[in-house]
Amino acid sequence: MLSIVGTNAWQTNTAVDGTVCTALMPDPVLNEGVADSFAFTADNASGTESHFVPRLNGVIYYDSNDADGAGVVGRSYCLGRVLSFSTIMGPLELADPDYARLFGNAMDWAALDSPPCLGDLDCNGSIGQGDLGVLLASYNRDEGGDLDGDGDTDQADLGMLLSLYGDPCP
């Protein structure tokens, strides 16, 4: 669980009371035993909350009223998952039963597998320039660019990557 991966912007605010977290995207693992909307008191560590904007393929599972941004954002990362909370997981947050349950659920959620995304060699959720860089660096050396699984990185792998170029991961 990383605090900021999955977002591309942040800011802090100074409000400490009554942050409201509201479920936006239903998810059976994250939502289990958690109220659809709940208020909790946020710890203040030179600000209380990051302003989250999801990256490509990021999903806002819970919204937050305070930071005027997302509250809980998740996305696939390679074959795993990353989930970010806009607030710290401090004593005040974890004292709230809904927040604590959501945090526990988040552990289960992040432990689930994600489907493989062919061509996304740098695991950023789409097929593009970064992947081409990984493939070319692996050329003839098989260091992460073998898309067709034949044990080397060559023209056939490059052809596959170019045919996928620009595609988002599912």
The residues binding Ca ion (CB under 5 A) are 120, 122, 124, 130-131, 146, 148, 150, 152, 154, 156-157
Q: Cβ 55 to Ca ion, closest distance in Å? A: 12
Q: What does the buried/exposed string (b/e) look like for 33-49 if buried means 16 or more CB atoms within 10 Å of the residue's CB?
A: ebeeebebbbbbeebbb
Q: Which is nearer to Ca ion, 96 or 157 (CB)?
A: 157
Which amino acid, residue 49? E
Q: How far apart are CA 1 and CA 66, in angstroms?
A: 22
H/E element holding 23? Answer: strand 19-23
**Length of the chain measured in residues:** 170
Q: Cβ 124 to Ca ion, closest distance in Å? A: 4
* Residue in the structure block whose two tokens are 């710290």: 88
Q: Which is nearer to Ca ion, 50 or 126 (CB)?
A: 126
H/E element holding 85? Answer: strand 80-85
Helices (H) and strands (E) in the chain, counts: 5, 5
Q: Which two tokens stand for residue 91?
A: 């004593």
Q: Which is nearer to Ca ion, 98 or 142 (CB)?
A: 142
**Cβ atoms of residues 124 and 109 within 8 Å:** no
Q: Cβ 59 to Ca ion, closest distance in Å? A: 18
Q: Cβ 147 to Ca ion, closest distance in Å? A: 6
Q: Cβ 6 to Ca ion, closest distance in Å? A: 15
